[in-house]
Structure 1
Amino acid sequence: MPTRITHLIGGRDWTGTAGRTGAVHNPATGTVTGRVDLASADLVAEVAAAATVAGRAWADASLARRTRVLFAFRELLDRRKEEIAALITAEHGKVLDDALGEVARGLEVAEYACGIPHLLQGGFTEGASTGVDVYSIRQPLGVVAVISPFNFPAMVPLWFVPIAIACGNAVILKPSEKDPSAAVAVARLWTEAGLPDGVMNVVHGDKEAVDALLTGPDVAAVSFVGSTPVARYVYETATAHGKRVQALGGAKNHMLVLPDADLDLAADAAVNAGFGSAGERCMAISALVAVEPVADPLVARIEQRMRGLRTGDGSTGCDMGPLVTAAHRDRVAGLVAAGVEAGAALVVDGRTGPFHGDSGGFWLGPTLFDHVTPDMSIYREEIFGPVLSVVRVPSYDAGLELINANRYGNGTAIFTNDGGAARRFQREVRVGMVGVNVPIPVPVAYYSFGGWKDSLFGDTHAYGPDGVRFFTRGKVVTARWLDPSHGGLNLGFPRTD
């Protein structure tokens, strides 16, 4: 009997009856393990109105009280990380070690948010003018919405929610309906940590719920992570309704390998970054740009490593799990077929197995293409699956031009032993996050995550200093406290002398 997965509103499970539900699968078996309630627009509006009331009281809470809640939440999250990782594997399919790493990276942002008294510290200038002081403060926005994707059901909410709450906002989280249980489990920890009811809420849903968050009058800001077409829609719709928006979109991440690179290190990195989490990462390396003459020996090393990978049930110690849904598996398999038809050399075909798991699982193993050209769909499209495409170029300049011409600008990496080449690349490449001999350059929590071009809509990146700025409004106060000796009128323009 599938488990009911329902909304978490005001710290409690919703007791209403859903007009619509969605299926939640175990991707390793293909079986339906849960039915998730899908919120109506009316329910989203009710939750937002209630969160507005709860958020006002939370905004008035002292920084000391907020910090106590943040520290308690951090301890609970660390204590329950294995339980949350198991939920991720059961509904998303990624292997347990990868799921645990996802929770650990989210935990880093919770730890960063524990420093909120310092992060919200303003500036003060005494005597900016005669008897006048000027100081800056940052204040919460009110109710903020976080719309998170299926590929990181715990980490992406943790990128936004701890900072939003630490800044004094109320939150409505809309997790992916494909794998919602990890987000609900994390949200329950806030109540256990002492967060007042109504400050943290989870509503499940599809486009109806999303549109209600984007257009509703009680939501002040929206944080979104997902595909580029949807990110553009979220940004345009929400900003048209007066909301602040940060919408992180898709990616086509390139790894540039120069002739002087350590090819064993580069091959390890390409396999790790291309096939971890079944390639369902916005920071996955999907295009390896090999500067000749390294392509042949590099492809041989990558193929050798791929032959030893085991694809199967993520809970049983395999290297790579299934894709999240049958429909997504079929889409990726279709793009593989399109690559063959276009003339790319299929070095390793992940469609054929073997697969170490139930025959009903959503399987597609690591796949390697060589001699890929920029006009092919496997290069142009964000596949979001375990498909690595090798593009051969004659020089560094040609590789840089290829990367900069791509419409995405999320992440990139260069592998080289030449410090001058690496420094030139990090300066010249038009991408938001750059790795030097690091294939997945996800910034640590005290920096900020975000790309360029069609990989980001909005002016701020996720978490870190940008996250604090996004979830607060700046205000500058100019104050004069008059002493008894003042007097007289002066109609001239105020001066700072």
Structure 2
Amino acid sequence: MHFGKLKDYINGQWVSHTDAEYLKVYNPSTGEEICEVPITPTNQVEAAISAAEEAFKTWKNVSMEKRVKYLFDLRDALVQRHEELAQSIAIDQAKHISDARAEVNRAIQITETACGIPLMMTGNKFAINEDVDGEVIRESIGVVGALAPFNFPALVFGWFIPYAIGCGNTIVYKASEQSPLFMQKIMEIFEEIKLPKGVVNLVNGTKPVVEAMLNSPIIKAMAFVGSTPVGRIVAEGSAQTGKRSQVLAGAKNTLIVAEDANMDGFIQNYINSAYGAAGQRCMAGSIVAAVEDVYDEVKERMIKASKEVKIGDARDEDVFLGPVISQKSVDRCHYYIDLALKEGANLALDGRNPTLPEKNKNGYFVGPTIVSEVTPDMKIAVDEIFGPVVSLMKFKNVDEALEFFNNSDFGNGGSIFTESGLYAHKFLREANSGMIGVNVGVPASMPYLPFGGTRSSLFGSQIKAQGQDAVDFFTKRKACTVRFYGKN
């Protein structure tokens, strides 16, 4: 299946380019070319920004009722095209189809929450004294830019576009060049629901497109999800041009296993956390920190359960673990495994050459991998790998494991597995991370709670995604003081 040369969507029109460079996109499950995606020329990025600027002049004055009606129509279309959207993710991002369906479900839930923007947009008004009133008014901020990662095309769309336009802004959205198909279908939906032209504009590409957006004085805010190195560039570039920014960056999440943990519950959560979406989640559990009393049992159970994980094509229903996004990602996983062994760790389970179905021989696969006896000074315990590679570490007690967790450069998420209320309370109070859980492998926030980390996992405005935080990011507030004297 080949989708040909993809197009941008600018000012309500599909745009193809005769002068653009095109990148080949491959199905990670098979290595087959599936489409070509443009690096949108700078003049066309500027055209998209100008279209959004022109559309904002009228869109900001569209009634809240009408704006939210478009969100309801968007939600209905997402439900109607659910399977088609999930299949698009399973093709170019090669997220296993069950995970892809779950991601589309979450995008629907986020859009449903965004339909409640009128409640979240309400201001505050009070009587200062008998003659003077005080009032806070929320307003849209203008044209916003958004940069999406490859690993969650539907989720990040939900974080940015429904909230941005629901709050009265217009948007220029750059899809990931590695997984562009989902956003092509979303723009078809916006055509179907007759969203006014220029309100949402889609561009594609790499660094030159990002630079054009960062350098534009018209764009007033940038929203980003991706790696920490690129996130720093976006946050710094936004600051230099006076933009507000929301930058959700990298992660290195830890699952602490206390001596009283329910081991069956831990293993079930571990498999989903470490190997779901091939470990390419910002909420993936990439470190298991077990206290020494249960370390050997944890290791044995992890190995046994991981060996039972079925690997193969992302669209095969009976497969659990699909491929990583590219050969570069495979090489990165191998590099950290080899480096850990050189630094003194042991390879408890080697996933570097997994057994694959014949049709997937040219795909980009790494099997479940467990590197044991990892110590805090090793690179594999520090760096984000983004694949199904797990570090197993031993600590004397929960206090020592929590200290390690809090010393990480990252602060996106983490969990403790325990039946002790004391341990749970201690973790919830002391864990220095944006999203934490007890007996939960993936402590990702529900759509009505803020999503985002701390430290090197969040830059810019420090305002997170979803719910009230999203409304706070996509609006500006004015404080008003009002007095009327009446007739003399």
TM superposition score normalised by structure 2: 0.97
Matched, 1:32 2:33: yes
> Secondary structure of 1:462's match?
coil
Matched, 1:319 2:320: yes
* Alpha-carbon separation, structure 2, partners of 1:144 and 1:188: 21
Q: What do the CA deviations read for 1:332-369 (whole angstroms, capped 9, x no partner)?
A: 12211222222211111111211234211111111111
> Secondary structure of 2:219's match?
coil
1:363 to 352, 362, 365: 365
1:333 is matched with which residue? 334
* Alpha-carbon separation, structure 2, partners of 1:433 and 1:2: 38
Structure 1 residue 316: deviation in Å?
Answer: 1.3
1:384 is matched with which residue? 386
Moved more, 128-137 or 98-107: 128-137
Q: What do the CA deviations read for 1:363-411 (whole angstroms, capped 9, x no partner)?
A: 1111111111112221111010000111100011110110111100000
* Alpha-carbon separation, structure 2, partners of 1:341 and 1:81: 46
1:161 is matched with which residue? 161
Q: What do the CA deviations read for 1:428-468 (whole angstroms, capped 9, x no partner)?
A: 11111101111111111111101000000022011111110
1:87 is matched with which residue? 88
1:346 is matched with which residue? 347
Matched, 1:266 2:262: no
* Alpha-carbon separation, structure 1, partners of 2:153 and 2:331: 22
What is the alpha-carbon root mean square deviation over aligned residues? 1.2
8 A Cα contact 1:408 1:452, kept in partner: yes
* Alpha-carbon separation, structure 2, partners of 1:352 and 1:37: 33
8 A Cα contact 2:307 2:368, kept in partner: no
1:473 is matched with which residue? 476
* Alpha-carbon separation, structure 1, partners of 2:193 and 2:155: 19
Residues 477 and 27 (structure 1 numbering): CA distance in 2 closer, same or farther, change over 3 Å? Answer: same
Letter paired with 1:270: Y
8 A Cα contact 2:255 2:415, kept in partner: yes
2:233 is matched with which residue? 233
1:63 is matched with which residue? 64
> Secondary structure of 1:66's match?
helix
Letter paired with 2:259: P
Matched, 1:218 2:187: no
Q: What do the CA deviations read for 1:249-269 (whole angstroms, capped 9, x no partner)?
A: 101000111001111111121
> Secondary structure of 1:457's match?
strand
Letter paired with 2:370: L
8 A Cα contact 2:177 2:204, kept in partner: yes
1:464 is matched with which residue? 467
> Secondary structure of 1:129's match?
coil
* Alpha-carbon separation, structure 2, partners of 1:339 and 1:31: 32
Letter paired with 2:70: V
Letter paired with 2:473: F
* Alpha-carbon separation, structure 2, partners of 1:326 and 1:400: 35
Matched, 1:124 2:125: yes
> Secondary structure of 1:352's match?
coil
- Structure 1, unpaired ranges of 5+: 486-497
Q: What do the CA deviations read for 1:290-344 (whole angstroms, capped 9, x no partner)?
A: 0111111111111111111111101112111111111111111221122222221
Q: Which has the larger radius of gyration?
A: 1
8 A Cα contact 2:6 2:16, kept in partner: no
* Alpha-carbon separation, structure 1, partners of 2:161 and 2:299: 41
2:429 is matched with which residue? 427
* Alpha-carbon separation, structure 2, partners of 1:218 and 1:47: 11
Structure 1 residue 191: deviation in Å?
Answer: 2.8
- Structure 2, unpaired ranges of 5+: none
Residues 18 and 463 (structure 1 numbering): CA distance in 2 closer, same or farther, change over 3 Å? Answer: farther
8 A Cα contact 2:448 2:468, kept in partner: yes
Alignment of 1:85-164 (within 5 A): 85-126=86-127, 128-164=128-164
Letter paired with 2:115: C
1:494 is matched with which residue? none
Matched, 1:414 2:416: yes
Matched, 1:249 2:249: yes
1:451 is matched with which residue? 453
* Alpha-carbon separation, structure 1, partners of 2:458 and 2:187: 26
Structure 1 residue 482: deviation in Å?
Answer: 2.7
1:440 to 430, 442, 447: 442
> Secondary structure of 1:154's match?
helix
1:489 is matched with which residue? none
1:204 is matched with which residue? 204
Letter paired with 2:362: G
1:403 is matched with which residue? 405
1:306 is matched with which residue? 306
* Alpha-carbon separation, structure 1, partners of 2:159 and 2:183: 12
> Secondary structure of 2:62's match?
coil
8 A Cα contact 1:268 1:302, kept in partner: no
* Alpha-carbon separation, structure 2, partners of 1:483 and 1:2: 68
Letter paired with 1:424: K
Structure 1 residue 417: deviation in Å?
Answer: 0.2
Letter paired with 1:470: F
* Alpha-carbon separation, structure 1, partners of 2:452 and 2:133: 36
Q: Identity of aligned pairs, percent?
A: 38
* Alpha-carbon separation, structure 1, partners of 2:360 and 2:140: 49
8 A Cα contact 1:11 1:188, kept in partner: no
Count the aligned residue pairs: 484
* Alpha-carbon separation, structure 2, partners of 1:175 and 1:19: 16
Letter paired with 1:245: S
Q: What do the CA deviations read for 1:33-88 (whole angstroms, capped 9, x no partner)?
A: 11101112222112101110101211100011011111111110111111011000
* Alpha-carbon separation, structure 2, partners of 1:324 and 1:208: 22
1:49 is matched with which residue? 50
* Alpha-carbon separation, structure 2, partners of 1:477 and 1:193: 37
8 A Cα contact 1:18 1:39, kept in partner: no
Structure 1 residue 2: deviation in Å?
Answer: 5.6
Structure 1 residue 476: deviation in Å?
Answer: 1.6
* Alpha-carbon separation, structure 2, partners of 1:2 and 1:140: 37
> Secondary structure of 2:374's match?
coil
8 A Cα contact 1:154 1:186, kept in partner: no
Q: What do the CA deviations read for 1:204-252 (whole angstroms, capped 9, x no partner)?
A: 0100000111110110100001110110111001111000001111010
> Secondary structure of 2:250's match?
coil
* Alpha-carbon separation, structure 2, partners of 1:316 and 1:24: 20
8 A Cα contact 1:326 1:362, kept in partner: yes
* Alpha-carbon separation, structure 2, partners of 1:104 and 1:252: 25
* Alpha-carbon separation, structure 1, partners of 2:190 and 2:11: 11
* Alpha-carbon separation, structure 2, partners of 1:469 and 1:203: 25
